Amino acid sequence: MDGSSDNKPFAFWSLASRYLARMPKRMHVAVLSVFLLIIAFQLIVRPASPMMWSQPQEQQRSSCAGFFGRGWGLPRRAVVMSITEFGGVGDGRTSNTAAFRRAVGYMQGLAGRGGAQLNVPSGVWLTGSFNVTSNFTLFLEEGAFILGSQNPEEWPIIQPLPSYGRGRERLGGRHISLIHGDGLTDVVITGNNGTVDGQGKTWWDLWWNRTLEHTRGHLLEVMNSEDVMISNLTFRNSPFWTIHPVYCRNVVIKDMTVLAPLNAPNTDGIDPDSSTNVCIEDCYIESGDDLVAVKSGWDQYGIAAARPSANIIIRRISGTTPTCSGVGIGSEMSGGVSNITIEDLHVWDCAAGVRIKTDIGRGGYIANITMNNITMERVKIPIRFSRGSNDHPDDAWDPKAVPSVKGIRISNVVTINSTKAPVLEGVKDSPFEGICLWNISLLGSSPTAQWHCEYISGFSSAVSPSVCSELQSNDSVRSCL
């Protein structure tokens, strides 16, 4: 993982060096002066941790993995067995669907007797969908590859989520995820950097060819569960959203690599959905959609379910997506989203750096969002609030259901060579309030680039180039302190 974001001044200097290399030498002194002033300002306005310059990196690096009061070392299970003991064959051709289901079925009976761990050794293990269970660890050893079956019948159809009312892409049910869990406690999916590959191209072709009958499955979905840890694995080529905890609490997702072709449709990296107490940290993601997206239900179904996403920390995420954002909130946010912290984000070649997405009909709320220490390179629009997707589950959506958005704090942002200035568009009948910006530098943008703001209000300080008038209100200063 890229640890440069742990020491912002040094990461900033690295970016400055690359930027200067592209400029005429006669401009170096002026630009260096700007860089040094920005660094000095960052150190003044942001409190430094004790011994900031002398602490070893390991001590400076904090973790949110135990932020809800529980340690996250790997639990010791009473029984440890291999998939080979249940008839598994890792030759890349033999179907292991029955072996995985048999193994988990057996281990389900051990949940109350110290739990169980299922090891997947080095090899290529082809399988259809299988469930995990409580008090359970799925451990992929080094060199282990779980391959998702390309036969849609091995991804059965299940009921749509209540907060969505239908499949996200098609009416009716949806394909189950490759690895799935519902109503569980104490689930660990980890390993020694093993790989889960959804072989998603079959599904992407169905989407591109408009022959998809049911919504595609995720690579991993855990529902209605608590105390879930997902770590130290590579997930790749998901048919749809890659990691999807929904209606969960106490979830840790860390040290993950998530990969998909940059044109693979809707292959979001990590999407916490109607979930609380979630820690996402130290992950590298390349995808055809948002790297991380916080969700909470879709229009009238999300409003009725009233299952918010709250108390979520997203930190030290790096990666790229040419079509979407580094971290997004929404657009499915009808159950409410609050108390979200996004920090130490490094993204490049993205359509947007950070983005809040909503619309009329969504209802719900987005509140108390903090974004801090963000570095972007060649991002088209660094900060974006967007509306007007006209994306609704059916004709029963309520045009009077407008979202409430307030308390968005964004600070310590550096973007190099963005195509446009930020675009901040609220909703006409429900303006976004309490938008607070500090210490934001857009370097290398077009001299004509201007902030675009509609239906928002707030306050800004130390932002270059100058922001729109809607963010220069002295009346908003108190709400930003």
DSSP 337-396: EEEEEEEEEEEES-SEEEEEE--TT--SEEEEEEEEEEEEES-SEEEEEE------SSTT
Mean pLDDT value of segment 15-25: 50
CB distance 288 to 240 below 8 Å? no
For 23-74, how does the pLDDT look when each residue is reduced to its tens digit (9 = 90+)? 555 545 444 544 554 444 444 334 333 222 333 444 457 888 875 445 557 8
Mean pLDDT value of segment 175-185: 98
What does the alpha-carbon distance between residue 48 and residue 87 come to, in Å, rounded to a whole number? 56
Here the tokens at position 281 are 């940290």
For 372-388, how does the pLDDT look when each residue is reduced to its tens digit (9 = 90+)? 999 999 999 999 999 98
* 228 DSSP β-pair partners: 187, 251
What does the alpha-carbon distance between residue 480 and residue 467 come to, in Å, rounded to a whole number? 16
Q: What percent of the chain has pLDDT over 70?
A: 85
β-pairing, 185-191 with 157-158? unpaired
For 224-282, how does the pLDDT look when each residue is reduced to its tens digit (9 = 90+)? 999 999 999 999 999 999 999 999 999 999 999 999 999 999 999 999 999 999 999 99
What does the alpha-carbon distance between residue 4 and residue 57 come to, in Å, rounded to a whole number? 10
* Burial of 30 (C-beta count, 10 Å sphere; 0-12/13-18/19+): exposed
Verify whether residue 289 is a known catalytic residue. Answer: yes
12 in helix, strand or coil?
Answer: helix
Mean pLDDT value of segment 119-145: 98
Mean pLDDT value of segment 192-202: 97
The torsion of the CA quartet 341, 344, 350, 352, rounded to 10 degrees, works out to 40
Q: How far is CA 61 from CA 161, 284, 316, in A?
A: 37, 17, 10
pLDDT of residue 447: 78
pTM: 0.88
For residues 148 and 464, the model is more confident at 148
What does the alpha-carbon distance between residue 192 and residue 231 come to, in Å, rounded to a whole number? 9
CB distance 152 to 175 below 8 Å? yes
Single out the catalytic residue among 271, 289, 299, 359: 289
Q: Mutual orientation of helices 8-21 and 28-45 as an angle, nearest 10°?
A: 160
196 in helix, strand or coil?
Answer: strand
CB distance 142 to 120 below 8 Å? no
* 72 DSSP β-pair partners: none
Q: Structural domain boundaries of the chain?
A: 77-251
pLDDT of residue 13: 46
Q: Looking at 46-55, 88-97, 178-187, 281-290, which range is the least confident one?
A: 46-55
What does the alpha-carbon distance between residue 116 and residue 85 come to, in Å, rounded to a whole number? 14
CB distance 350 to 377 below 8 Å? no
pLDDT > 90? residue 108: yes
Q: How far is CA 325 from CA 169, 359, 446, in A?
A: 20, 17, 21
Residue with token string 């857009």: 442
The rounded mean pLDDT for the chain is: 89
What does the alpha-carbon distance between residue 282 and residue 270 come to, in Å, rounded to a whole number? 12
Mean pLDDT value of segment 99-113: 97
- Class assignment of domain 77-251? mainly beta
pLDDT of residue 45: 38
pLDDT of residue 60: 56
